[in-house]
Structure 1
Amino acid sequence: MPADRNSTKRRRDLIFTIENYGAIMVSKCSFCKAHSRVCKVHISSGKCSECWKQGSKCDVAVTRNEFSRLVSEKKKLEAQMLEARKEQDAAFEALRVARAKEERLSKQLAQNEKRAGEVIAVESAALMELEEDPVQPAWPAGPAELSTSVWSAMNDLPPEFWDNSVTLPS
């Protein structure tokens, strides 16, 4: 056994640990009552830190109030853990919903890009066709063919109508 790990050093380490992790007892042991000390006990130690320091027997007893306090603290901690689990579940559900939305939007975006490609292809083909075979003008290039009712309406025009014809600007 190393020299620095003798029983005195180990006892001091134990006392230090009990004082840091122990609980103050509502009902003090005889030694702590007699010497007006704080009676701190860790449930695993069986003795308070002061009795460990003195090397005396500790008669500390856990009272009903201390048991009740431990039970109520346990219930409170369990309720807090349950609430934390519910918050985690809600967060996981929100994440699942957000991921599903992202996936849906990603599919819609891909479909939109596909449609845009189709529109571009159709329009490109139409423009190429126009460049190869220009469309004929809507008005005939030759003499106009008028119906007989239109010609008959022109028969009643005075001869000077035809002499003063106006040329339309191009």
Structure 2
Amino acid sequence: IPYQAVMIPLMKIVLTIGLPNGIPTLILAHVVYGIPITTLIFRNYYESVPQELIEASRVDGAGMLRTYWSVVLPISIPSFVVVLIWQFTSAWNDFLFALFLTNTETGPVTLSLNNLAHGSIMADYGASMAGALIASAPTLIVYILLGKYFVGGLMSGSVKG
């Protein structure tokens, strides 16, 4: 569902509950909005886990929780990394939710970058480009550190054969 389709209902819910405009409200919105894609990524990954591993764990006497903790969770690291990178990038680069769920004092870096670019009559392209580079650095760092897991985790479970 596009962000634009949920803006008005989300704002009505935020006002009804009485949440203040700020980062906690923005985090809550991203967590709720990210649950469907996170569920889909994990579902596809767990669908690709060989059933023989789970059966072997059951034969060894492990219960459901022990099987998940000892067998499934350790091989799920790529799916956790995919979700982490996906959600971090989505939340970090968000502009629309930040625009109406925060204010100028508590807004994220994307909102500040927009205010920097459109704050005066004459645009300062040097400051805007420096701000864009600084704003993109955390996403690049996360991807560089965890990128080796990303492609494998994203593709796992996508093709069965």
TM-score by length of 2: 0.24
Relative contact order higher in (CA < 8 Å, ≥ 6 apart):
2
Larger helix proportion of the pair? 2
TM-score by length of 1: 0.23
Larger radius of gyration: 1
